[in-house]
Amino acid sequence: SYELTQPPSVSVSPGQTARITCSGDALPKKYAYWYQQKSGQAPVLVIYEDSKRPSGIPERFSGSSSGTMATLTISGAQVEDEADYYCYSTDTSGDHRVFGGGTKLTVL
């Protein structure tokens, strides 16, 4: 079955740039999406179609994709950005959606 691979954890100091990667064989052909989940809350979509930002999401969140890797970048990370981040995409058939294993972002 199709898998998306993320690093388990990323740590940055406040104001630094955080980068979270997601690798998958179908990413050259399929969009990547990024979700933020804070403890005890439902996930929130922060990036869709590789690099677009839904309304209400701060400009410090951006996304990119190249080859088999998608990247979520948080420029000038803030303490409130501490959360688990998940990438999401589909396999080449489009029949199966999948989440990456998640990355715990620590900002301290």
Partner 1 sequence: QVQLVESGGGVVQPGRSLRLSCEASGFTFSNYDMHWVRQAPGKGLEWVALIWFDGSNKNYADSVKGRFTISRDNSKNTLYLQMNSLRAEDTAVYYCAREDHGGPYYWGQGTLVTVSS
Given its phi and psi angles, is residue 95 left (phi above 0), alpha (psi -120 to 50 degrees) or beta? alpha
Choose the stretch contacting partner 1; rule: CB under 8 A; options: 15-23, 47-55, 58-66, 74-82: 47-55
CB closer to partner 1 out of 35 and 61: 35
Q: Find the DSSP H helices in the chain.
A: none
How many positions of this chain bind partner 1 (CB under 8 A)?
23
| Residue at 36: amino acid letter | Q
Q: Does 1 participate in binding partner 1 (rule CB under 8 A)?
A: yes
Give the tokens for residue 51. 């690099």
Q: Which residues form the interface with partner 1 (CB under 8 A)?
A: 1, 31, 33, 35, 37, 42-43, 45, 48-49, 52, 54, 84, 86, 88, 95-102
